[in-house]
Structure 1
Amino acid sequence: MIATRWLQSTAVILAPVFLVALLASLPALAVSLETSVQGSAPYVTGGFGKDERMAMTRTLPDYNLKLEFAEGGRAYVAGAVVHIEGQGVVIDTPVNGPWLLAKLPAGSYAVTASLNGIQKSQTFRVDGGVTRAVFRW
């Protein structure tokens, strides 16, 4: 009898805790990233909001290039148009968030990013690991 009451009391106390934990995990599960492919290079853009950034961070090991776009000091920005060229790969795409992740063959690349009519360019090599480049306006 006492054991039964104790189990019931424990269940009443723990049920809301488990429910809150479940509900807290749902937004992260709901974020789905749409992978695009140009030529043979898969890529994904986005990164606005905590859940989308977490989803992209989890998929980062599948990619070897991470481009970030910011305006001013550190404010992330969306809407840049990106052109990546090298090693037979050409990606031309608008970026719907502050990040672009791509999986490229090893080699040298030229990247041009445009935002509000202002172009920024960088060249870099993609080798082992993740190459990171930041574009600031």
Structure 2
Amino acid sequence: MELQLSMVVLEVADLEASVRFYQRLGLDIPDVEPGGRPVVAHRMGSGVTLLITTAFASVYDPTWSRPSGGGYSQMLEFYVGEDAVVDSRWAELLDAGYVGRMPPTQTAGPYAAIVEDPDGNVVLLTSDEAASPEA
């Protein structure tokens, strides 16, 4: 299976302000639902989804803090297949010396793990069928 970039996740301080910006930019992103989940998603024609949230990294990554010269505001999500593949990729990357931020975990959404690339960019590995290129 070819590895696919499936989603860009932006952890933001103000969901409504961020959604307004991306709507103004030209994306057909839905408005924030009052009292709804702290997330808005938009699947682009390329198949890549832009997900804007105030509560993913802040909830599931105990080391996360709002960026200030070293933190992160976004994650690159890669759909890797089944839960077992998330587990094995996590183990392989840690064995190779890469930094893990969240071990494989069943989140409120996908089964996922978080690792850093060599530059400190945060990568989310998931088995979320919604992120599959075939979905």
TM (normalized to structure 1)? 0.27
Query: More helix by proportion, 1 or 2?
Result: 1
Query: More strand by proportion, 1 or 2?
Result: 1
The structure with the largest alpha-carbon Rg is 1
